[in-house]
Amino acid sequence: MKCTVCKKEATIRLHRHKAKFCNEHFIEYVYRQVERAIKSFKMFRKDENLIVAVSGGKDSMACIEVLNEMGYRVTGVHINLGIHEFSEKSEEIVRKFSRETGIPIKVYYLKELFGKEIIEFKRPYAEKICSICGKLKRYYLNIIASELGGDAIVTGHNLDDACSILLGNLLFAQVQYLSKQYPVVEGEGELPRKVKPLIRLTDDELKQYVELRKIPFVQEKCPLSKGANTIYYKEVLNYLETKIRSVKAEFYFNYLKKLRPYFLNEEETEVKYCRVCGYKTSSRSGICYVCSIKNELEGSDDKGPY
């Protein structure tokens, strides 16, 4: 097996591109895909402050490493969510990586930010914990990134993530989310825009990248995410990819180009701000999700289901 670029011995085969790469040219391929995503979606410039959300998983670790290698100004933000050993291990890996590489990563605790850890949520919240956790992370990332003077919040979402979210939204006709399926979401007011520079790379490619570059990451999946529908969506998309070459990239990028425009008018025009915290909200009550969940939980002395 010969490298498509230099004809030396190849170590990695990418079926979807009908390409084979040696280590050196695979890394070059990864940088090229990231650069292409940044440029084609006008994500950010070299002189901007990028706040990279770093969970400790392979994608966010690859994301901050790649952007740092490519010369972008990155600051990592890790939020310890309080999910037993999983969160402890994540924080440890992130701190060690920051120490060893010199890439700045700031660590925050959900307990301090929100007053409660994820593990403390009990019914009926525990049933939709992935959704709540996502909302809390987005909310506090917004606040932290604003405080740090970030121009953009960068997340490590890859092609598989984007496809599985899109599939879920199409399967259940979630019109309100369909226009937001884009690698750049513009910020409003004091909020920085959100960008996904790994959008052209697959789960598998990123796995190979972190291994090759010996980037440490949390191998375990979040113990609370078991049974989340996106896991099934990823499974079926992976299966389809084995049968129909490049179906994931076709799906996502065709969607962006040909279908998403139909849903653009569905974006909310009226911007509202939470009466409690002042942040943007689409809630009819005028109180954002995080503040209203805080209200609901206040006074309850639950011990959590886990």
The site for its own copies (CB under 8 A) is made up of 170-173, 175, 229, 232-233, 235-236, 239-240, 243-244, 247, 250-251, 254-255, 257-259, 262-263
Of 42, 263, 52, 240, which Cα lies nearest the Cα of 160? 240
* Residue whose CB is less far from its own copies, 193 or 234: 234
User: For residue 256, what are its two tokens?
Assistant: 């962006």
Q: Which is nearer to its own copies, 1 or 244 (CB)?
A: 244
Supply the minimum distance, in Å, between the C-beta of residue 250 and its own copies: 6
Nearer to its own copies, 242 or 300 (CB): 242
> What is each CA distance from 21 to 58, 160, 213, in whole angstroms?
21, 21, 15
Supply the minimum distance, in Å, between the C-beta of residue 262 and its own copies. Answer: 4
Nearer Cβ to its own copies, position 265 or 269?
265
To its own copies, the closest distance from the beta carbon of 240 in angstroms equals 6
Give, in order, the Cα–Cα distances in Å from 65 to each of 70, 91, 209: 9, 17, 11
**How many angstroms from the chain centroid is the CA of residue 186?**
16
Rank residues 5 and 228 by Cβ distance to its own copies and give the closer one: 228
Residue number with CB closer to its own copies (70 or 247): 247
- CB 17 → its own copies: shortest distance, Å? 18
Structure tokens at 268: 């909310």
Q: Report strand pairing: 193-195 vs 152-154.
A: parallel
Helices then strands, each counted (H, E), the chain: 12, 10
CB 50 within 8 A of CB 67: yes
In the numeric block, which tokens belong to residue 235? 């499974």
> What CA–CA distance (Å, rounded) separates 9 from 246?
24
What minimum distance in Å lies between the beta carbon of 134 and its own copies?
Answer: 19
Radius of gyration of the chain (CA): 20
Nearest approach in angstroms of CB 129 to its own copies is 18
Q: Are 53 and 141 in contact (CB under 8 A)?
A: yes
Q: Which is nearer to its own copies, 185 or 240 (CB)?
A: 240
